Amino acid sequence: MSSRKYGLSLDRRQLLKVSVGGTAALWLGLGEQALAANGGVKVSWYGGQDTHERMQKALKLFTEKNPDIPTTVEFAPFNEFWDRLPVQYAGGGAPDMHRHSMTYLYSYIKRGLLADLAPYIGSTIDISKLYPGVVDIGTMNGKTNAIGNNQIAFALFYNREKLDKAGVTGKLDNLTWDGFREISIALGKAGGNRHYGTNDSGGVLAFLELFVTQRGKSLYAENALGFEQQDLVDWFAFWQSMRDEQGAPPPAITSESTGFQNAPMVRDMAAMQTGWCQQLVFFQALMKQELGIHACPSPAEGPDNGHLIRALDFWAVPARSKNVDKAAKLIDFLLNDEEAIEILGLTLGGPASDKASDILSKSVDKTSGMVLDYLKGLRAHASKKTPGWIAGHGELESLLKRLNESIGFAQTTPKDAADEFFSQAVSILR
């Protein structure tokens, strides 16, 4: 990427390791007490190494352009970040601005923990060039508690060499669910023992959402599930049939697949992998073989392919922050400054505006360009709706993963697992 000119290698001597959940924190500028006295902003986010390096370069640029607003930063992998953030909110030590996942967004909004950014829109924060839904999805009851920093969609990644060798590359065109299963099984068997067509996505709630959307339903309806029990039975049964015939790995292997570096496709145990479209960049960086990206399977018939292009991550500010005005200025910078957009690339996800898309299309590498083209192609026929995930989504995601795993270990059946999911969902979404 052209953002190499910004020197993205991290100077390890600048790192100050702090023993908070095993997280490394890099302090830019002044110490925390001096920072507070000088009106600085504490910024926090989750992600991988690329995200950490790029965010720090963007913030360095921000402080160069705004020397009166010093910053400190904290960062961590996703799970560690979300283990720590509730503790910080409870203890009054939450960062002035942080990255927020839609997985937990509505739980924080419901509890009144996030500041209303609406008073800053149009004055400090320019949203005029953002895609539809990027702001709307974080707005409830007239308050804008979060502003999306990306637009992304679910996708299917594939190892070009393996698909070509198995003679199935052309079968990705107009991919149906039956075709996806057929290709996955063929790829698994072509690779020999302990090789599979794709990763097991039966426990991925975002993929289930695509599946039920294709059936004319939704993941949620008010404070309840928006699909039928039989839909979930069919979903669980599909993934069990994949595991039965080498289309997807058994749960013992899936449980070892946490993190991009441990994904079956990266470990040369699968030819395909599902995930959020921008993750193609992360997977490609870990592999020598060239990867491709394709839309996920769709029903053989139907007007909507079910793909949703949505903001998944947001910038949010705690209601108790004393630096909302400065945090708002930083949000605007990260969304609209051309140099910041180029530095960040796709590390936070797909671009949140046409402006960002245009900037990145002229500067990104081949892999990132494929992601931009994928999103551009989806916009022609993907649903125009951007449904939000309600409070309790994170718990349901963990539940779905556990039940799919239990089916794989032959501890329960698709029907019984669906019964348990719907039963527990009643109390989780209450």
Give the CATH number, domain containing residue 218.
3.40.190.10
Residue 377 lies in a domain: no
pLDDT at 258: 85
pLDDT at 21: 27
pLDDT at 30: 30
User: Which pLDDT tens digit goes with each residue over 7-33?
Assistant: 333 332 232 222 222 233 332 223 333
Tell me the pairing of strands 41-46 and 97-101.
parallel
Contact 76, 46 (CB under 8 A): yes
Query: 419 and 298 share a domain?
Result: yes
Query: 243 and 169 share a domain?
Result: yes
Query: 51 and 87 share a domain?
Result: yes
Query: 204 and 141 share a domain?
Result: no
Query: 336 and 355 share a domain?
Result: yes
Query: 271 and 413 share a domain?
Result: yes
Residue 375 lies in a domain: no
pLDDT at 303: 60
Contact 98, 43 (CB under 8 A): yes
Coil, helix or strand for 175? coil
For 168-192, give the DSSP string.
-GGGGTT-BHHHHHHHHHHHHHHT-
User: 73: which 2 tokens?
Assistant: 């930063």
Residue 379 lies in a domain: no
Query: 68 and 173 share a domain?
Result: no
Please tell me what DSSP assigns to residue 316: E
Q: Among residues 364, 379, 401, which one ends one of the domains?
A: 364
b or e along 318-344 (b: 16 or more beta carbons within 10 Å of the residue's beta carbon)? bbebebbebbbbbbbbbbbbebbbbbb
Contact 112, 319 (CB under 8 A): yes
Query: 270 and 397 share a domain?
Result: yes
Query: 10 and 144 share a domain?
Result: yes
Whole-structure pTM over 0.75, yes or no? Answer: yes
Query: 54 and 203 share a domain?
Result: no
Query: 269 and 326 share a domain?
Result: no
For 404-419, give the DSSP string.
HHHHHTTSS-HHHHHH
**Total residues belonging to the chain:** 430
Residue 372 lies in a domain: no
Contact 200, 404 (CB under 8 A): yes
Question: Strand pairing partners for 293?
Answer: 157
pLDDT at 39: 62
pLDDT at 304: 66
Domain residues for the domain of 182 are: 154-307+392-428
Look at the block and give the residue holding tokens 């990104």.
364
Number of domains forming the structure of the chain? 2
Contact 40, 97 (CB under 8 A): no
Residue 382 lies in a domain: no
pLDDT at 305: 81
Residues 339, 321: Cα–Cα separation, whole Å: 27
Residues 128, 353: Cα–Cα separation, whole Å: 9
Contact 430, 223 (CB under 8 A): yes
Contact 232, 418 (CB under 8 A): yes
Question: Strand pairing partners for 157?
Answer: 273, 293
Coil, helix or strand for 220? strand
Query: 158 and 125 share a domain?
Result: no
Residue 274 lies in a domain: yes
Which segments in the chain show pLDDT lower than 50? Answer: 1-38
Q: Which of 41, 57, 51 is nearest to 75 (CA)?
A: 51
Q: Among residues 364, 381, 406, which one ends one of the domains?
A: 364
